[in-house]
Structure 1
Amino acid sequence: MPVQMKSVNKKSTQMEEMRAMPMPKRGIPKSFSPTNTSADQDTTRRKIAIPKQHADTDDLAVPAAGVPRAIKIDKLTLAVLLEDVSLDERNVVTSVLDRLKREGKLYKGSAKGRGFKNVYVKTYKDNFSIEVRVNPTRELHSRQFMNITFNPSLMDEKRVKWFGRLLRMLFPGRRSEMMRQLRLYRCDVCVDIPEDINQLIVRLRRCTVQSKYFMATDSVGRVETMYLGSIASDLHGVVYDQQASDAFKQAVGETTSLPPLERNRTKSRDDAEVVLQRTRFEARRVFKDLPTLDVLDEWTAPFDRWDVWQIRDVPALRKDWEFAAYLDAVRWRGVAGARLYLEGRGCEHVSRFEQQLDRYKADWWRPERMLLDMQSALRSRLLWKLLRG
């Protein structure tokens, strides 16, 4: 009997100790930071937890909800003007590119839709490529003899050195001079937003007439891409679901924008991974006047032409079907266009709708503060240092 009483007392003591232990909270604490993880948190099952040795890597940083990451240059097209090269130099460039193709260092790319007669591509194992086009066939490119397109954010030191050697072979004795004479034809900048694209409305600011605005959806009606403006415009934008884009890139073997720790992930239910929504906003600008690279110092905030609203699924919104219909009008026609359209059909509540819409303005969208981030990104790349001499 004493032995049994001792056992009961032991169990009671264990139960009291367990009740006294703090229960772990579900989800991620508000103070959670990948670079400041407390010692008592179990991070072995969460891929979002980042080892200390990678804490200074930009791609691994997890931003707060709704806060855009730093701006990156997603694509850059540099041009060599026809007037800056002699006929003999043009022949040298063509012969060097043909020789590199025969040696297997370049391969011939498709000229369809490129506007140039000859296209040469340098491809790496991760499917990163540098594309060289020569001999224009379109009026749009009539001033260019050659242009080179690549993604600066993926140009590491080895690739930058290869780019420098290529220019030295194409323009022997004049590489430094040609670098100073390179012109800017196209620049795409992008920012990643940790929000669901289906919650966002993006429209040009203070515009009644807006051309070429449409959306692409998946098989269940979810928005995957928004196209903002015509590709013929000097500046147009694209907003798309980065997760869907990466899933497609992984399927075809292309380089994704996933952080290194997530590039080989399988499914979230397999390893209790915390998955964040990721939306990418790209501003694509074409410089038809072909200025020098100095124009990038003067480019104002690239996203200052767009307004962003975030419409979350709240009970009050479900009850107000008139306002929900107004949101669709704003999506397709913009704020000014929606007013003209609805008032022209006898709607008397447009002013109330616009006041209600202001409450959904994304407070994290601050395009006027992104200028310094862009300038910093331009000067942080080895390629930029090479081009600026």
Structure 2
Amino acid sequence: MTAKPNGLQPRTLAAQALGWEESETHAVVTPIHVATTFIRDPDNQYRNGFVYGRPDNQTVRQCEAVLAALEEGPEALVLGSGMSAATAVVMALPAGAHIVAPTVMYWALRNWLMNDAVAYGYTTSFVDTTDLAAVKAAVVPGKTKLVWLETPSNPLWTVSDIAAISEIAHAAGAVCAVDSTVATPVFTRPLALGADIVMHAATKYLNGHSDVVAGALVTREVNEFWAKVRRVRSMHGQILGPFEAFLLMRGMRTLHVRVEAQAKAALALAEKLKGHAMVADVLYPGLASHPQHALAARQMQGGFGGMMSIRVKAGEQAAVSTAARVELWKRATSLGGVESLIEHRASIEGAGSPCPTDLLRLSVGLEAVDDLYADIDRALRAANA
């Protein structure tokens, strides 16, 4: 394979998948490598670098190289899901490690940290990571080994200061990892802000077509901890399949045009909805009224993402009814695809959710803004009639 020279902008690197061409046919789309085993050299060595399909795959390597370039890190790993990626980081920690994580975060990981991680000896303190004093108070030097951030956070879309919290984590001897699924490499590069690892639920924006379940990790340094994360992926059989890696790489080639358009549409919708008679609040970091708007503007370069939430003024039943009445918006879990999705999060997350019951989460796709607004406006009015 051949690669374009360094110095190109991320948008170019993504669009051309680093400029690879297949060596035999010179195809501009790289092939899917499905082999699970490889020929040894006559002296029983593997000088070509491939041994078996569980720890390694050429299509996976190519996908990882594109992602590492986008996040400006030396190495990346792609895994079978966002949960696989997140739990691989935790499982690489030493036994008995203490973790600091956000109160508001992806509910499945929050649930795993609360109920499953304890079986491995890990303890987690959940704090408001928008409050630097609270983060600093929760970190225990020598015991805290991981500070996990999610910014913007799902589904309240609060913004945490990656640079400041990375410093707090490092001062205590901890790793700082950032779930940057919603920000994407287009708007935020956590490694450049001091984070040690950036994680993506690659199912979402990186793929962008709602047809791949995948997770991704990128490191700031290839060090001992990263080697442990890599080993967890190998020994737990968490590598992404070659076909899924191919589809993920296909999605990343259009990443910039998709998320830039989605962020522009989300901001326009947020501006329209904030004055709606049936909407009590719009949660979107691109609005000047957002509590962390100034931080978001500094940390998210070029856009604020395609996710927002609205709080329906009449309460839970009106919110549920609104979601039931939309026609263009799709009532479905997930986010980041080209189609717009709506979901009543509290009923999905269940007991213990920090999500308000009057909240609807919106993932803005690539449809016309006027069509999306007209559909949800009609649903809101009908639900409150």
Please indicate the TM-score interval, normalised by the length of the shorter structure: under 0.3
Tell me the TM-score normalised to structure 2 length. 0.27
User: With CA pairs under 8 Å and 6+ residues apart, which has the higher RCO, 1 or 2?
Assistant: 1
Tell me the TM-score normalised to structure 1 length. 0.26
User: Greater Rg, structure 1 or structure 2?
Assistant: 1
